[in-house]
Every structure is written in structure tokens, then in C-alpha cells.
Amino acid sequence: MIKLKIRNPLVLITIALLTLCWAGQTLAARTPLPSPPPVSGKAHVLMEYHSGDILAQSNADEQREPASLTKLMTAYVAFSALEDGAVSLDDEIIVSERAWRMPGSRMFIEVNTRVPLRELLKGMIIQSGNDASVAIAEHVAGSEESFVQMMNATASALGMNNSRFANSTGMPDPEQLVTARDIATLARALIRDFPDNYDWYSQREFTYNGIQQHNRNRLLWRDESVDGLKTGYTSGAGYSLVSSAERNDMRLISVVLGARGDQARVSDSQSLLNYGFRFFESHPLYAAGEELTRTRVWRGASDSVGLGVRDDLRVTIPRGRYDELDAYMDLESAVAAPVSLDQQIGVVRVTLDGEVISERPLYPLQAVDEGGLIRRLFDDVRLWFM
């Protein structure tokens, strides 16, 4: 049981959290956490989806050629345009000669034909069609060059600080580079922000123009818990795979870049996923908007205000160690009105073995206006003697 402590000499409270029992967990005592499995790829990351915690990594911030992993960003930008109402899944897109002539993997659309955006998205996601990617980019932004600007602006907004895109397909370009950490960040955002569209990544095959093609992510056949995301290959990039799987309410994202072959990227990814699910567990601690404590407000229309976190706080820890978690809050010693919703008033920290594993700012759950003249004068006198 976690006790939430407040480091404030005026206040002392404890909030008890219910211990979550995980199906199949039999560890009664602490089991030493083994090292992550060896990975043949040039770079890799294993991320827990809900918390964003990194469970295993190697060369996570080394820039590498993304190949068709680029299409994850193409999809994110297209999904954003759909959400904004700028385009519709039923839009009939006239296939340009540029899109039709794209080399590499294709969904085999024909020049000057009309193809619904819905079909192009499936062709890009399931079949990794370069022709579909360019057609989507031209429809969303008018040209692939303008679409690339949107891709890079989106990467910056998502915090992908070490990645840059030069086209919508992943065709080799010296200016197009990503990192394993950034790709994991992108995959997490895609799953989080567009859950209704994410189902396409689990589809094993797609038929268009009488041609049936299979999803290149072979983990979809090997592991029923896997439901995405994308493969990539060029001679320069090697074999890459971004995969995501969900077991017992825990979702993991694995990124393997630059593996030696298709079998290697699949084996590496499977090993990482199995390691994460076997040796870690994820726990929700505090919900967004939940009142964790109240703090005194001086000179205000109200004499106190509730504090909480803006986003759900969830942690990923080695299995069997939930009872060893500790949490405490550091609060400002004197809070005076007016208090705005954007005013940080403290932090909540979660520790394990004395090490901070998660930290979130605390914000007021309600705004507090200044009190009347008498209240302000009365509080000013009290503050003077404190």
C-alpha cells in the first residue's frame, strides 16, 4: 500500500491506494530483475505505453534511416487532418502520375483513377504502399513537399527532437533520420490519439485492384496479443519493426531498428515484448482531476483549494514490488489568491528504493478569486505573525 505524504509542516495526510492484483502473478518475494534480452538490431527501445517508461534500450537516440517506418508519421498527419475535418475517409482522390510511378512497395493504384482516402490509408498501412503514401500526402497538403512540412511540425510538437522527415514514403534520403526513442514516442501518440483508426494496423491482408497482399508484420501471426504496427526495410536502413502488444491491461511498444533480416527483427521484437510482460507490471496511481490533497489559500474567496495532476499518473515497475512504492508531495508553503488553474502549487513524486521513478506537477482543481476586503485584511494580519 502506497502512503502519499505531504512535505508541509502545516499539513499531514495519508491517501491509501488499493493494491491491484494481477492475474497470474505468483511472486510473493522480490525476484532479481534480469538484464534485457540480447538484440541484434542496431538500436532498440521497449516502452510501456501508459506510463511512457522505458524498460529496455540500446542506442535509443542514435539517428538512423527510418525506411517505411516513415509511414507512421504519414498516417498520424493524415489522421489529424481527418479529425480536424479537413479531409474525409470518403474523399475520392485522383491518382497523380507521381504517385503512380512510385517505386518500391505498392498497392497498385492506377494513374488518373479515383480512389477513396479510406482505401489509400489501408493500402499504406497494411500493404506499405509508397504510391498510396504520396497520393495521401498530395490530397492532405496539396503536394508532398508541403506535407513533409506538416510531418516535421508534428514531429516537433510530439517531442521527436532527433528526427526529421524528407518524404512521405521512407524512400532513402540523407536528410531523413529518426531515432528508436522518437519512433516509440510516435507509435505511442498514434495509438493514444487515434484509437478508432489503430485497428487497421492489426489487419493481416488487404485486396485492391484484384491484388491481395499480406501485412509484412509477421508478429501478427505469431503472437495474438500483437496488434500493430509497422515494418521497414531499405538496404541502408536494414530491417526494422515497430510492434505493440497488450496483455492483462498492459500495453508495450517495441522498436527494433537495423536488424540483419526479417527473421531477426521478428525474433528481437518478440524477445523484447516477452521480457517486458514477464518481468514488469504497470499500475495506475492517481487519475487526472482526482483530488490528492487540499492546501490553504490566503486572501481568497475560498480558504482552500484541491490539488491534483492533469494527466493520469501511472508507473511501470518490476513485478512484485508494488508494496514497496512510496509517494510524497512537496507543496508551496503559502498560497495567496488569486489562484489560476495553470498555477503549479507543488509536485507529487513516486519513489522505489529511494529513487524517484515518476514526478508530476500539482495544479489547482478550481480557480480561486480574491476574497473581500475584510478577508484580505484579516489574512494579511495572520500572515504577518507567521
Please confirm whether the linkage preceding 338 is cis (ω < 30° from 0). Answer: yes
Please list the active-site residues: 68, 71, 128
What is the 8-class DSSP label of residue 124?
H
Instruction: Say if CB 66 and CB 177 are below 8 A apart.
Output: yes
- Number of residues assigned to the chain: 386
Show the cell assigned to 285. Answer: 496511481
User: In sequence order, what are the beta bridge partners of 230?
Assistant: 242
Give the integer Cα–Cα distance in Å for 276 and 128. 28
Residue type, position 70, single letter: T
What is the 8-class DSSP label of residue 313?
E
The single residue listed with the C-alpha cell 499531514 is 12
Give the integer Cα–Cα distance in Å for 230 and 202. 10
Q: In terms of Cα–Cα distance, which of 28, 23, 48 is closest to 254?
A: 48
Give the integer Cα–Cα distance in Å for 274 and 225. 11
The single residue listed with the C-alpha cell 537516440 is 61
Sign of CA dihedral 94, 97, 98, 102: positive
Could you list the beta-strand ranges (E) of 287-354. Answer: 293-298, 304-308, 313-318, 326-331, 335-336, 346-352
Q: In terms of Cα–Cα distance, which of 227, 170, 233, 168 is closest to 201?
A: 227
Show the cell assigned to 377. Answer: 485584511
Instruction: Say if CB 269 and CB 245 are below 8 A apart.
Output: no
